[in-house]
Structure 1
Amino acid sequence: MSNAYVSVEGIARRYPGATIFEDLWFSVNRGEFVCLVGHSGCGKTTVLNILAGLEAPSDGVVIVDGQEISGPSLDRAVIFQGHALMPWMTAEQNVAFALSCRHPSWPKAKLREAAQAALEKVGLGHAAQKKPAQLSGGMKQRVGIARALAIAPKMLLMDEPFSALDALTRGALQEEVSRLVTEADQTAFMITHDVDEAILLADRILLMTNGPDARLAEVVVNTLPRPRDRANLHHMPGYHELRDHILDFLITRSRTLAGKQPAGWDPKAVPEVRPAAPQITPPPPRAAA
């Protein structure tokens, strides 16, 4: 696919006596938001670590922007489950440190100014001088988001960054990320257990069977129009069909398909489905003259 920024080509991850997943093929297009959904143990975090260059696959390669990745890069920023902030630094200093890695020649004043601007974007300009211990869980994650976006990565990788937050904070941050990523036309890849989170954020949703020996079983194309917000998501035409399809996979098919490959299965051509696509009712037949 000519627009693909990331091409995952036949990656596998094996450990002595166990294969976590095998022969994964998928792409992520420029400016696209892709979510990977599956049960614990199917290798979701391992896939993200491979994309980040933090872990090497047992087989296969990942091509990013035309080059095979060989390690971490500032072009691929990661937001982890935990905030991963340096506790002795203020929010501004945490963001400025990341900026200094991207722009080592910038003077301190410019780094502080850019860090403050990044914090303003996530609504934390007032907390720039606070240390992580003085921030709530949601505020810490906002600092992590600001830090990741401040370095202007070509791709944003997210490892269930909102899973430890309360429902109200999680919803607010999901909408914040959706807004920021859309405004920046940011390429993004996220792993999640939250079906509504995937529906809210993703353009495509990758469904993994249960591990071990997990595989990519299906690619769900999210045809719900943007912009989307949590308050009205469940009122959108096609939402319930989309949600029911994903839940049916997670409850039943992810288990029954585990470790099995149908006859003629081609991992390079995983089927795409559009459960929320509008159904066009054909007009009634014309009455005979």
Structure 2
Amino acid sequence: MENAKTESDPKFISIEGIARRYPAPGGGSTTIFEDLWLPVQRGEFVCIIGHSGCGKTSVLNILAGLEEPSDGVVVVDGQAISGPSLDRAVIFQGHALLPWKSVIGNVGYAVSSRWRKAGRAEVEERARRFIDLVGLKGNELKRPAELSGGMRQRVGIARALSIEPKILLMDEPFSALDALTRGTLQDEVRRICKSTGQTVVMITHDVDEAIYLADKIVLMTNGPEAMIAEVVENPLPMERARDSIHREENYYAVRNHLVDFLVSRSRTFKAEMPAGYDRRHPPVVRLGRPPEPAPAPANTIPFPVIASARD
């Protein structure tokens, strides 16, 4: 996959002024979110966090082409999204596997949808490669009913990756799993995305999951009329280990900042909006390191006091 970051491609995904409105009982409409702007670079892992009702899933569905925005547009690799595409693979909370097909049948079905002229041997070889990638070698002939929940979700991940998408979209893919299985799959996803340079946008309610996986964490205010409050750059090193990440410098600075937002600032942000806030350039928060000058009119908010106080 050619997913390496390049300086000439700063906005691989460009969310430009999107809104989502629904008809309200008795007339009028309810605005879930309004005027969202967000750039995502090629190869970035971005997590979106916010309370239920802020429109996170709607944002993901618009990225997938499953919903149309009420306003605005999303541009991916220079092309405006106009519907679903095999360039954008989605992993939902449920695995959505075909129950009558085996593991290799489910993954092979995705492969043959992407490469319609590929022969049976080529489809099978590619399917086996991605089944092996997610650690399911030896389970190729099992059907979903014979697999555990975590194994089914692995099949879903293999199926999504097998079409070599430009973007991997994930809607809380591990939320229904037990803690041990969830941690194992988080490790697998991080390993795969790091080794392939896959661009990922993921929704989660789990602060620790976001800190472990993401390069950037997008914080959304409460809905209705939700907005992007800020984008937190993850200062932790790329090489992270689950059993020692809590010992990393700035880990608690980041975690406390995210929890504080979800507990209080997500409700009060609109009423206490920072001076100079610009929806087109949501503030970028860099915890635990000196503030970096941002080109106008971008709005950079450093928090060195918070970082030093909580180390």
Q: Which residue of 2 aligns with 1:173?
A: 185
Contact 1:213–1:259 (CA under 8 A) maintained in structure 2: no
2:201 corresponds to which of 189, 192, 200: 189
Query: Helix, strand or coil for the counterpart of 1:267?
Result: coil
Q: 2:277, 2:283 within 8 Å by CA — same for their partners in 1?
A: no
Pair 1:18 & 2:30 matched: yes
Question: What is the identity, as a one-letter code, of the residue corresponding to 2:75?
Answer: I
- In structure 2, the CA distance between the partners of 1:258 and 1:139, relative to structure 1 (3 Å rule), is farther
Q: Which residue of 1 aligns with 2:53?
A: 41
SS of the residue aligned with 1:214?
Answer: coil
Aligned: 1:268 with 2:275: no
Task: Quote the Cα distance in structure 2 between the aligned partners of 1:84 and 1:230.
Answer: 28
Please point out which of 232, 247, 254 is paired with 1:242. 254
- Match of 2:208, SS state, is helix
Q: Which sections of structure 2, spanning at least 5 residues, go unmatched? A: 1-7, 24-28, 291-303, 306-311
Q: In the alignment, what sits opposite 2:233? A: 221
Give the structure 1 partner of residue 68 of structure 2.
56
Normalising by structure 2, what TM-score? 0.87
1-structure distance, mates of 2:84, 2:256 = 37
Question: When the two structures are superposed, what TM-score results if normalisation uses the length of structure 1?
Answer: 0.94
Is 1:88 aligned with 2:95? Answer: no
Report % sequence identity: 61
Q: CA deviation at 1:109?
A: 1.7
Match of 2:133 in 1: 121
Change (3 A) 1:98 1:86: same
Structure 1 equivalent of residue 142 of structure 2 = 130
Determine which of 172, 183, 186 is the counterpart of 1:160: 172
Contact 1:211–1:258 (CA<8 Å) still a contact in 2? Answer: no
1-side partners of 2:70 and 2:275: how far apart?
25
Q: Deviations over 1:129-158 (max 9, x none)?
A: 011011000000000000111111111100
Change beyond 3 A, Cα 1:249–1:104: same
Looking at structure 1, the residues matched to 45 and 153 of structure 2 have their Cα atoms a distance apart, in angstroms, of: 19
Q: How many residues align?
A: 280
Ranges of 4+ aligned residues in structure 1 off by more than 4 Å: 258-264
Number of the residue aligned with 2:16:
9
Structure 1 residue 264, shift from structure 2 partner: 4.3
Distance in 1, Cα, partners of 2:273 & 2:20: 18
Q: 1:141 and 1:277 mapped to 2: Cα distance?
A: 37
- Give 1:151's aligned residue: 163
Distance 1:49 1:273 in 2: 26
- Please identify, of 62-71 and 225-234, the stretch whose mean Cα deviation from structure 2 is larger: 225-234
- Deviation larger for 15-24 or 240-249: 15-24
Q: Matches of 2:135 and 2:141 in 1, distance apart? A: 14
Q: Tell me by how many angstroms 1:265 deviates.
A: 3.0
Q: Which moved more, 1:256-265 or 1:242-251?
A: 256-265
What SS does structure 2 have at the residue aligned with 1:277?
coil
Residue number among 10, 24, 40 corresponding to 1:28 in the alignment? 40
Alpha-carbon deviation of 1:260?
A: 6.9
2:204 alignment partner AA: T
Query: Distance between the aligned counterparts of 2:250 and 2:188, measured in 1?
Result: 23
Per the alignment, residue 72 of structure 1 pairs with 84
5+ unaligned residues in a row in structure 1: which ranges?
281-289
In 2, distance between residues paired with 1:31 and 1:197? 18
The Cα of 1:117 is off from its aligned counterpart by 1.3
TM-superposition CA deviations, 1:172-224 (whole Å, max 9, x none): 10010000001001111000000011001111100000011100001000010
Q: How far apart, CA to CA, are the structure 2 residues paired with 1:227 and 1:67?
A: 33
Partner of 2:152: 140
What is the distance in 1 between the residues matched to 2:130 and 2:9? 32
Over aligned residues, Cα RMSD in angstroms?
1.5
Asked whether the equivalents of residues 238 and 277 of structure 1 are also in contact (C-alpha less than 8 Å), the reply is: no
